[in-house]
Structure 1
Amino acid sequence: MLLFLWWIAGYIILVSGSTTPPLFTIEPQNIARCLDYCHLKNLRFLLCVEADGQLSHNPYKDCNRGFCKAEDFELEYETDDSSSETRINRVEKTPVGQKANLRDLCLNERGIPIRRRCQIRNGKRVWQSMDHITCRSAPELSSSINLLAVKSPPDMISQLSNLLTQSQEKLAAADVFSISEIFDSLVQKPERNAEVVGDLMKICQKVMTTDNETLRISADVNATNSLLSNFEDYLDELGSKIFQKNTSILNNSTEFKVERHFDHGVVVLKTSELSVFFVDPELKNITGMAIFSRGNTSEFRALHSNDTEEDVRAIENLETAVFLPEKLWRKLKRKGASYLVFKVYTRDALFVETLEELKRRPTSNVISITIPGLEDTKLPEKLPFFLRNGKANHTQYEGGCGYWNYQTWLSDGISTSGNLDNSYHSVILCHAEHLTQFTFLLGVSKMQTGQVTYEDDHTLDIITNVGLTLSLLGLFIIFLTAAVFKSFRSLASTKILLNLCAALFLQLLFFLILSQSHLLEQLNQTDTERCTLIGAVMQYLLLVVFSWMFIIGFLQYQRYVRVIGVNHPRHYILMSAIVAWTLPVVPTLLVVFLEPDSYRPSNSTLDTTILCYPSGYGLSLGVILPIGLITIANALLVGYITWSVYKALFTRDLVLKQLGLFVLLFFLLGITWIFGLCSYFDFGKIFAYLFCLTATLQGFVLFLYFIVFNKENQRAWLGLCFTLRKKKDQETIEIPTDSILKRSSQSSTHSTSNN
């Protein structure tokens, strides 16, 4: 603010011609006094005024004028034995304010090249001090690439391409950075040479095969963005030369291919993972391209301005497509458009986000659309393009088309079609209002970014299937016990337990059948009705189980806390059954009618099975919210019951029984789902393991407590087996322990909820 007022005062002095002493009275030979401020952020607001009151040299311009001369200097380098040695290094002539590459590559601890800035201090143009810097040496390939960036010979692109082709070494972060510097120096040259196109694409192809961690480090110093931007800018300006028949494009080899269709106004440049299409619509009305797969190869097909979106989307095995409708192309021609350039990247390696937590990631090709000669990138009409939704997995959400802004993927100005029909189709139709690079994005959770691996998924599947099998077996034996022994099934507590077991049995059996059968594999993206039915049934059964667990939790609270004065209403078991079996219908139908799209298949690739289950708001409000509230309520009840029993009955002899009661309630009331909620909110993969280990064993634990560890039921089964062996030849078998059962069942099994 002070500097701004200073600037206003100086301006008034100049305009009014006042003789008031100026802010800085500087003789020409003392201009250095003003240049001392070159390091200030707000330099452009400083005024240097001569003795006559006239504005002298503009300090802002002076601070960015001139060069630092080439210089040899000494640097410390680490050696293999962790000691250091002094080497002579060199920087070439560099403009003020810019950084120079060192002739002998100097790497920091992350493997990024250290450069030296030309700056102004005390009115002099000097090199930045590099005292107290210790360099790490670079491998031979990195040093060779760096020398090309330093010397910038006329054929540097050709030399770089040969260097990368001949070398078997993987690129390091320093190499990506040096390549971006070479591309930058190439773009600075005024002329464009079509002969280097093949080398440029082969170099980009090499960088695209670099591992993600290396590219992430390179992105921190903007190397990937710089490389991508300069590569695209150079190609966009080649259109007029590309369409000339006498233009020579070198390196038409196995790594790089050129297809010229001059009669149709199309030139195609291809590497294995990068394709560039130059299109002149004036010849054959071609305004777009479609890329589709045929076997293991990728082929293309020209699209015309009179094609329809339905016809393009119907192309078999379509991967990527874009075309300009006739109305849009006419408007763009009037704005100066002459030809089109489409670039298709089969992987997103050059589009590196530096955010720690990624929200969405590309799952399709990336298509870059540019129209040279068009200054305004905002389009007068929406531009349709098509992308394939690929490599989806179980943790995806929030799918949609997006564009790259050289920092992250955004979606403003882009719409994902809703009627050809929705983002769950294998080929996604998008519309853009501006030009840039586009892709199809799917949301990712922390598990997708490295916390849960495919090996973890396989292990969790095994744990889940084993637990489900044991639980189903245990529940079956509970039903069998109730069917055989009348004294067990006649108890009120047993009737409540059997309702819970029935709901749990249906839920587990339904899930196990779906996971082990090929039913889901037979579904496709158009089977929305069948998928909705399957998802609604799964949702309903889960909510029924939780309804019964909540009812049992309330009854257990009455039994152990409100021991005296508890009177149950008449027919309370029937009323509980009506509530537990009908109330879950409400949220299920709400999701079915209000959010039917949430049931649509969320997976669409050959690698993963389609999952029919609520997603989005349907999952959050129709499943997670109710089971979360019930789980929290039951957890509080278990804690309160355990504390009440502890205070009332604590003795050393009853510690194990109190612990057993806690474990029973923990499984009986579904507290294990706390682990599931923690896993859903990405608190760590340990909760996924805990959830699969405990929740799937609920039925088996009920079997252990009510059948195996229950002495009366033990005696009943032992007595039945003994009687069958003794009197197997008799037509009528009497059970000698029936009197015992009548007397003992009323005391032991009362612990579930004889309320």
Structure 2
Amino acid sequence: MLISFIAGINITLQEGCTEQTTLECLQNLFEQIENITVQELPVNTVMDILNMVFNTSEKILESLSSASPAELASYGNRVLQTSEKLISTLVKPTDTNDSVSFTLAALEVEVFMVGPHVTLKKIPRLETTNSSVDIDLIGIAKNNNLTRSAAVGFMSYVTMENLLKPDFFNTSNDTVKTMMSTVISVTLPKTTNTKLTKPVNFTFRHIREFDPNGSLSCVYWNISEWIVDGCSVLETNSSHTVCSCVHLSTFALIMQTSRAPESDSQLDLFNLVCVIVGLVFFSLALLTFALCQWSPGVNNVARINICISLLLAHLLFLLTQQFLNLIRPQQVLCAVISGLLHFLFLSGFVWMFIEAVLLFICVKNLSKISSKKREVLSSGFLCVIGYVVALVVVCVSVGLVPEGYGSEHCWIKTDKGFIWSFLGPVCIILALNVILFICIIICLNLSLTKLNADVSQLKTMACKTLGQFVVLGCPWILGVFTNNSKVLEVIFVILNSQQGTFIFLIYCVLNNEVRQQYRKLFRRLFCGHKKH
């Protein structure tokens, strides 16, 4: 296949290389480009040749899954050298200034040239989609006494990290290396004196999620590895990092993070079983609340909605994690799921707070809520609080940081402090629930000491109140202390996955009226089965 025949250039692919690309095809292509002696080429010709180089390289890369680091580095170096040579042919003499730019699927190029009569005091910032560079090209041109001219070539490689991997950044500590930027190259083609007059600044846009606990390094490529000599981080935020280097080369931004502890398959299985058991009891509790007849003074609104919110939240979270490999590539779907989880879990905590308030009022009065209070605490009013508060928090979060949803696990992202849109309200609710729980215990203790009648009933209420410690979500506080403690992690999983179980036990199994209705139901089913 003939790529170009201009001014004596004849770049062809070997016979058979169009159908099946091999290493020999790529090597032959590199050699033909290295033998080019023409100093200037049209932009379209350079684009055609570069397209062929990158298309061939990508096909070869698919078959290099088992290639050694040395082989990958070698191919990467050849691609860099080939690209830089072709870009240099775009530089042409100019009296003032000129520029060339183009974009390919795998490469973006900016070339800027200045001549002896340039009127600019500073050249514009050279920009590509994910990076930009500030260089004092005017000062460099002035240092070229004979020509008083200079040129800079700026290349941003979209897929180069597949060859020049972040793991080629050798450090003493055992960390996970992540390429946070596209790989870029900056050269001074056809410039005699390439000495920099001042450091060059690069701005990288992060192409992956930023970890606030990670360590960023501005690195350049040195034959077979990434090193930091002469480069430093000037400033960084969650989306961009500015690097400064005292020399030109091929650059990138690499983030180091601590290795995540290996997943405990037994603990994962235990967690899965606990969540499924919890979902079963949430469902049983909801069926009981819906089908059984309750005394007029019993207010189950908060308990029902705790079950609904947490049942849907745990079920959605469980399904998301089980099918994460299918969901994660769909970024919009992943973000929607994380927003929905945010709402469901948050509404669950709001309902826990409402339950704590209702329980405190009940214990304080040791009687049914008065009709006046019942108007204030009507079901409609409670539903507005239970769901609207959570909805407002989620809507405000979306408005302020719309990109905060959709982490790698389809949950809330931790950067920019966005996780506090969930942790903040939860911490406040847990603190209030703990205070209310302590007040409830104190009120019960006072009542038990003052009253002699119905002591057994009060003791039963005391037992139920202790069970309410789990129902009100207080064990979620253990999440702060579970780091590196398997015992606490197991306790945390058991208590917080079994809120439905505790609700079912306290309000269904331990309720005499409900037990009587269950007995009647089982008798009917048993008798009906016997008759058949």
TM-score interval w.r.t. the shorter chain?
0.5 to 0.7
1:376 to 172, 196, 203: 196
Q: Per the alignment, in what secondary structure is the counterpart of residue 486 of structure 1?
A: coil
The percentage of counterpart residues that share the same residue type is: 16
Q: Per the alignment, in what secondary structure is the counterpart of residue 493 of structure 1?
A: coil
Give the superposition deviation at 1:473.
Answer: 1.0
Query: CA 1:709–1:325 in 2, change beyond 3 Å: closer, same or farther?
Result: farther
State how 1:332-731 maps to structure 2 within 5 Å: 334=141, 346-348=165-167, 351-352=170-171, 361-363=177-179, 374-376=194-196, 378=198, 389=208, 396=211, 402-404=217-219, 411-412=233-234, 432-434=243-245, 435=247, 438-442=251-255, 444=257, 448-449=258-259, 452-454=261-263, 456=264, 458-487=265-294, 491-517=297-323, 521-524=326-329, 527-528=331-332, 530-561=333-364, 563=366, 567=370, 568-570=373-375, 572=377, 573-599=379-405, 601-603=406-408, 611-617=410-416, 619-646=418-445, 648-649=447-448, 660-661=463-464, 663-678=466-481, 687-726=488-527
Residue 602 of structure 1 aligns to which amino acid in structure 2?
Answer: S
Give the superposition deviation at 1:505.
Answer: 1.9
Q: Per the alignment, in what secondary structure is the counterpart of residue 498 of structure 2?
A: helix
Query: CA 1:367–1:589 in 2, change beyond 3 Å: closer, same or farther?
Result: closer
Give the superposition deviation at 1:640.
Answer: 3.3
Residue 575 of structure 1 aligns to which amino acid in structure 2?
Answer: F
Q: Per the alignment, in what secondary structure is the counterpart of residue 343 of structure 2?
A: helix
Residue 376 of structure 1 aligns to which amino acid in structure 2?
Answer: L
Give the superposition deviation at 1:283.
Answer: 7.3
Determine the C-alpha separation between the residues in 2 that align with 1:259 and 1:432: 37
Query: CA 1:693–1:564 in 2, change beyond 3 Å: closer, same or farther?
Result: closer
Query: CA 1:665–1:443 in 2, change beyond 3 Å: closer, same or farther?
Result: farther
Q: Per the alignment, in what secondary structure is the counterpart of residue 326 of structure 1?
A: strand
RMSD across aligned C-alpha pairs, in angstroms? Answer: 5.2
Q: Per the alignment, in what secondary structure is the counterpart of residue 398 of structure 2?
A: helix
Q: Per the alignment, in what secondary structure is the counterpart of residue 492 of structure 1?
A: coil
Query: CA 1:496–1:407 in 2, change beyond 3 Å: closer, same or farther?
Result: farther
Give the superposition deviation at 1:701.
Answer: 2.1
Query: CA 1:379–1:486 in 2, change beyond 3 Å: closer, same or farther?
Result: same
Query: CA 1:653–1:586 in 2, change beyond 3 Å: closer, same or farther?
Result: closer
Give the superposition deviation at 1:577.
Answer: 1.4
Query: CA 1:726–1:509 in 2, change beyond 3 Å: closer, same or farther?
Result: same
Query: CA 1:375–1:459 in 2, change beyond 3 Å: closer, same or farther?
Result: farther
Give the superposition deviation at 1:622.
Answer: 1.7
Give the superposition deviation at 1:636.
Answer: 2.2
Residue 507 of structure 1 aligns to which amino acid in structure 2?
Answer: A
The 8 Å contact of residues 384 and 432 in structure 1, kept in 2 or not, is answered as yes
The 8 Å contact of residues 328 and 410 in structure 2, kept in 1 or not, is answered as no
Give the superposition deviation at 1:580.
Answer: 0.7
Residue 359 of structure 2 aligns to which amino acid in structure 1?
Answer: Q
Determine the C-alpha separation between the residues in 1 that align with 2:338 and 2:382: 25
Q: Say which is worse superposed, 407-416 or 687-696, in terms of deviation.
A: 407-416
Residue 501 of structure 1 aligns to which amino acid in structure 2?
Answer: C
Give the superposition deviation at 1:644.
Answer: 4.2
Note the alpha carbon deviations across 1:202-227, whole angstroms, 9 max, x for none. Answer: xxxxxxxxxxxxxxxxxxxxxxxxxx
Q: Does 1:294 align with 2:62?
A: yes
Determine the C-alpha separation between the residues in 1 that align with 2:238 and 2:197: 20
TM-score (norm 1): 0.45
Determine the C-alpha separation between the residues in 1 that align with 2:38 and 2:475: 63
Larger Rg: 1
Query: CA 1:331–1:323 in 2, change beyond 3 Å: closer, same or farther?
Result: same
Query: CA 1:487–1:642 in 2, change beyond 3 Å: closer, same or farther?
Result: closer
State how 1:70-469 maps to structure 2 within 5 Å: 264=33, 293-295=61-63, 296=65, 298=72, 299-300=75-76, 301=79, 302-303=82-83, 305=87, 310-311=103-104, 314-315=105-106, 325-327=111-113, 331=137, 334=141, 346-348=165-167, 351-352=170-171, 361-363=177-179, 374-376=194-196, 378=198, 389=208, 396=211, 402-404=217-219, 411-412=233-234, 432-434=243-245, 435=247, 438-442=251-255, 444=257, 448-449=258-259, 452-454=261-263, 456=264, 458-469=265-276
The 8 Å contact of residues 217 and 228 in structure 2, kept in 1 or not, is answered as no
Structure richer in helix, relative to its length:
2
Query: CA 1:261–1:500 in 2, change beyond 3 Å: closer, same or farther?
Result: closer
Determine the C-alpha separation between the residues in 2 that align with 1:659 and 1:437: 70
Residue 555 of structure 1 aligns to which amino acid in structure 2?
Answer: L
Give the superposition deviation at 1:403.
Answer: 1.0
The 8 Å contact of residues 345 and 365 in structure 1, kept in 2 or not, is answered as no
Residue 326 of structure 2 aligns to which amino acid in structure 1?
Answer: E
Give the superposition deviation at 1:325.
Answer: 3.4
Query: CA 1:469–1:432 in 2, change beyond 3 Å: closer, same or farther?
Result: same
Give the superposition deviation at 1:623.
Answer: 0.6
The 8 Å contact of residues 398 and 442 in structure 1, kept in 2 or not, is answered as no
Give the superposition deviation at 1:507.
Answer: 1.8
Note the alpha carbon deviations across 1:27-49, whole angstroms, 9 max, x for none. Answer: xxxxxxxxxxxxxxxxxxxxxxx
Residue 387 of structure 2 aligns to which amino acid in structure 1?
Answer: W
Note the alpha carbon deviations across 1:537-562, whole angstroms, 9 max, x for none. Answer: 11111111011100111122223346
The 8 Å contact of residues 401 and 441 in structure 1, kept in 2 or not, is answered as yes
Higher relative CO (CA 8 A, sep ≥ 6), structure 1 or 2? 2
Note the alpha carbon deviations across 1:329-353, whole angstroms, 9 max, x for none. Answer: 9938635799999997534465436
Q: Per the alignment, in what secondary structure is the counterpart of residue 464 of structure 1?
A: helix
TM-score (norm 2): 0.62
Q: Per the alignment, in what secondary structure is the counterpart of residue 336 of structure 2?
A: helix
Query: CA 1:417–1:593 in 2, change beyond 3 Å: closer, same or farther?
Result: closer
Give the superposition deviation at 1:673.
Answer: 1.5
The 8 Å contact of residues 368 and 438 in structure 1, kept in 2 or not, is answered as yes
Structure 1 unmatched ranges of 5 or more: 1-257, 268-279, 316-320, 419-429, 604-609, 732-755
Residue 553 of structure 1 aligns to which amino acid in structure 2?
Answer: A
Give the superposition deviation at 1:590.
Answer: 0.9
Q: How many residues align?
A: 419
Determine the C-alpha separation between the residues in 2 that align with 1:463 and 1:626: 29
Q: Per the alignment, in what secondary structure is the counterpart of residue 473 of structure 2?
A: coil
Give the superposition deviation at 1:323.
Answer: 6.1
